[in-house]
Structure 1
């Protein structure tokens, strides 16, 4: 039963919320059309239906910091106060390069920069103020609230690449974003955190422009309202209008990456502003991961879906480092660096989860050249059934090579650096194996019985191709291989797309900065050349629906139509081109001992150790 005092407070709160809701509803409900899933853009609005002149968003009149908290936190977790420790050196000690090597590197860097500049100008001309550009139609996409995702995502890129006048123009527009309206009824808290909050924080860390910090605070105030639930766990697919109308609860089914990959951005905001509430919001989630790490069906790791309403992270039976889990694990070593090594929980979470992943998820594929490489797959495990590997590879899980290499350096584990190298080499191999020189979104291969000794067996591969296409009836294996355009080693390619993803070049870049091995620069250039050749449009660069065709087939028009799709997600410029650019930059540009990247490639400044 409510006390008289609390009931009075609730009456006042309700009146305030009704007034606020009526105002905010006029904006957000008027423009909201549909929910959107993670990394899936909404339909392109054709160019002919847009105003011909770009208009900067109006400044926000509605402010989330005026909205009362229904479930205030009583025991706020403070930021660690211990001075940062001197962590092991991450970046390789590069020797002076030859003049010829320097010329080649700078030429490649200029080529990447020109690609970025071309895409940026196309976005500015055709989609300014919108989330994304349709690279074929010149239309726009607004699947991330209509809050200029491509613009905010690339603020730090403009600074890094030296486009200072464009940076100033972009900042002026970005700080006017209006959070009282949204193009989507549902806000993906994870995507908004990594793209918008992360983008503003990184640009502030680089430039020191206080306007960017003010806007980061504004996004932070909005996003932390998704944590205003009885157990303080966030609603990851959050409807602001419902939050304003009444109490909310966390959902019973939540992707583990979306609830477990908010800590870098919220922690950095807390570090800069001194407001512990942001750190507290994510610290309590991490405590749950720690408490339940050994209680899942695959102890050490957590399943793909968790119950946030009941704070139970143990019941699902699907475990992976791939899609829907990825950045949960990626953030463990990165948070260790961001906090200067003073919070031991992140090493514990990393050590425990990676020991399990190494044992169950990593596998060596059988290849025609007997390559000594690794791929990370999926595992099913339950109380009744032992852990079973699904030997699937994904482009998205190519981040794992960089994660292992970084974790290996930060936690002084050379074996993990070597695992990171083999995982990264696996992605490089997959790029080279396809006719366009680009790896697919999802594929299957034949796992070796041993990671130490694996010899190519053509009959075994052909048999697995037949097994993977059992629904094809009595079709001859040779015909299956031809019909599905399967390079040797691949038994199935269920998703033939390339959506301009950054994960492979991300790991190539991190591993290069850690080891200094020059073959990685050559691999990166081959990847960039292949991607550019296949994805360039008259405006920018486009995702591909099928990378199993050869360049000759595409040129001859025998594919049944173009494989280019009218999609260019903001991470193409913000991540993929950033990593390619940094691959050919001087090692002092975003030194890994001074910066740490969030999962959207936004660099945050690491704490300095006093001498």
Structure 2
């Protein structure tokens, strides 16, 4: 049985009555009865079904196209790095699909080679491949997986070393260390501390975490008097290149990794920065539109609203706020997204917060709502969040299941919704893991110790059975 966090009861008591008054989600007693074990079994069966199609039609490829049964590269056109396979490993292990996990590990050990004379996106390569290899190593103890993660991280370090400010360039050549694209953003300079810090712990090399933290501190030192940072920054000049403060596009995981550095490594300085940033976001960006809470972009120096869009990516902020103890605000923000789920079945990729209407019709099989629900559930033990996630799962199954797996959608406004033809690599690591963790009583994770990366790689909390 799952153990509850010691802080949960106090948080629940602090937030319960206030949430009703502020317009949050219904009280726990309104949650319908659910057979969570049966739902967990269904999630596992669907994951296994999709994995079998990946094995049959896209083995070792970056991503499967589930409608046509073809595949596509993600990092380097025409050269695959097994993205979906690596992303799936720790989910397979958590679901006790051990033969499938071992087959994936065997492929990594025999076929995955990062000595490629081509440019890869530094940020994506870290969160997806370094993180995936580390979590698979933590699950299995296989030293080859750790060696692969270190080899790749060493290649990515060249992107940090080339900048006079330690801000990683967006792209690095995996063989030569050449870099390009210095015009970058908070997410792409600030989403390394979790993976690099764990790698440093496992190898005894402090260089990785030091490089990651230095990049984050550079941006944090340039906060305005309002406590905000602009979303875009230049790796060579070290200066902001925009004025917009964002909680989602170009910035999201930067804030997550401040808090994760506290959870994983006890870095009190990072915790302080996380709390300061969340406080500034709450004071300066939080806006009510038709009584619902949103965090649109604002000018980082004046606080004036710079745009009225909010993307589905912003849902992560509810989970982060819950982790940092801001449960009431987290619940209110999640309620805004829950209403979109009710209205559109699949949460739009982006909306205008003034009208709550979609700004486009495509969506990328996004996991952020389930991510937020998981963290709120872990903090409060409130089954309202499981119920919202159950709806999220069933809606995905109804709209995105194709002949050979699950696909992004080309148009969420049609009935039935028009399917695209791509399963993003994060599907294997993120939402299916969130569903499993919430619906099952997983034997291989300790919820009291659990820390997930922005890509939902388990970086702490495995239990070997």
Q: TM-score, normalised by structure 1?
A: 0.67
Task: Tell me which residue corresponds to 1:274.
Answer: 204
> Shift of the alpha carbon at 1:588?
6.6
Taking the aligned partners of 2:300 and 2:209, their CA distance within structure 1 comes to 33
Conserved 8 A contact 1:91-1:592 = no
User: In the alignment, is residue 544 of structure 1 matched against residue 409 of structure 2?
Assistant: yes
Give the one of 170, 184, 187 matched to 2:104: 170
- Helix, strand or coil at the partner of 2:310: strand
User: In the alignment, is residue 520 of structure 1 matched against residue 385 of structure 2?
Assistant: yes
User: In the alignment, is residue 137 of structure 1 matched against residue 54 of structure 2?
Assistant: no
Taking the aligned partners of 1:90 and 1:269, their CA distance within structure 2 comes to 29
Taking the aligned partners of 2:7 and 2:406, their CA distance within structure 1 comes to 33
Give the one of 340, 353, 356 matched to 1:445: 353
1:396-435 to 2 correspondence within 5 Å? 396-408=313-325, 416-434=326-344
Give the one of 207, 212, 236 matched to 1:309: 236
User: In the alignment, is residue 110 of structure 1 matched against residue 41 of structure 2?
Assistant: yes
1:57-76 to 2 correspondence within 5 Å? none
Taking the aligned partners of 2:92 and 2:437, their CA distance within structure 1 comes to 13
Taking the aligned partners of 1:332 and 1:151, their CA distance within structure 2 comes to 28
C-alpha distance 102-212 of structure 1, shift in aligned 2 (>3 A): farther
Give the one of 427, 435, 444 matched to 1:580: 435
C-alpha distance 386-503 of structure 1, shift in aligned 2 (>3 A): closer
Q: Deviations over 1:458-484 (max 9, x none)?
A: xxxxxxxxxxxxxxxxxxxxxxxxxxx
Task: Tell me which residue corresponds to 2:269.
Answer: 345
Worse overlay, 151-160 or 300-309: 300-309
> Shift of the alpha carbon at 1:512?
0.9
> Shift of the alpha carbon at 1:600?
0.3
C-alpha distance 325-290 of structure 1, shift in aligned 2 (>3 A): closer
> Shift of the alpha carbon at 1:223?
1.5
Q: Where do 5+ consecutive residues of structure 2 fail to align? A: 13-31
Taking the aligned partners of 1:535 and 1:126, their CA distance within structure 2 comes to 18
1:31-180 to 2 correspondence within 5 Å? 89=6, 104-145=35-76, 146-176=80-110, 177-180=112-115
Name the count of aligned residue pairs.
Answer: 434
Taking the aligned partners of 2:69 and 2:188, their CA distance within structure 1 comes to 31
Conserved 8 A contact 1:90-1:593 = no
C-alpha distance 506-172 of structure 1, shift in aligned 2 (>3 A): same
Task: Tell me which residue corresponds to 1:200.
Answer: 133
Taking the aligned partners of 1:388 and 1:233, their CA distance within structure 2 comes to 28
Taking the aligned partners of 1:91 and 1:215, their CA distance within structure 2 comes to 38
Task: Tell me which residue corresponds to 1:496.
Answer: 361
Task: Tell me which residue corresponds to 2:143.
Answer: 210
C-alpha distance 172-122 of structure 1, shift in aligned 2 (>3 A): same
Structure showing greater relative contact order (alpha-carbon pairs closer than 8 Å, 6 or more residues apart): 2
1:289-300 to 2 correspondence within 5 Å? 289-293=219-223, 296=224, 299-300=226-227
Taking the aligned partners of 1:325 and 1:427, their CA distance within structure 2 comes to 19
Conserved 8 A contact 1:381-1:388 = no
Taking the aligned partners of 2:33 and 2:261, their CA distance within structure 1 comes to 34
Taking the aligned partners of 1:210 and 1:128, their CA distance within structure 2 comes to 23
Taking the aligned partners of 2:176 and 2:299, their CA distance within structure 1 comes to 36
Conserved 8 A contact 1:253-1:305 = yes
C-alpha distance 402-364 of structure 1, shift in aligned 2 (>3 A): same
Give the one of 298, 317, 320 matched to 1:379: 298
Conserved 8 A contact 1:92-1:513 = no
- Helix, strand or coil at the partner of 2:45: helix
Q: TM-score, normalised by structure 2?
A: 0.87
> Shift of the alpha carbon at 1:197?
0.5
Conserved 8 A contact 2:66-2:405 = yes
Q: Where do 5+ consecutive residues of structure 1 fail to align? A: 1-87, 95-100, 409-415, 447-488, 555-561
Taking the aligned partners of 1:386 and 1:263, their CA distance within structure 2 comes to 28
- Helix, strand or coil at the partner of 2:430: helix
Q: Deviations over 1:538-572 (max 9, x none)?
A: 111111122123xxx32xxxxxxx71001110111
> Shift of the alpha carbon at 1:364?
2.7
Larger radius of gyration: 1
Q: Deviations over 1:221-255 (max 9, x none)?
A: 222222232524322222346636xxx6x754112
Task: Tell me which residue corresponds to 1:237.
Answer: 171
Taking the aligned partners of 2:341 and 2:297, their CA distance within structure 1 comes to 21
> Shift of the alpha carbon at 1:121?
0.8
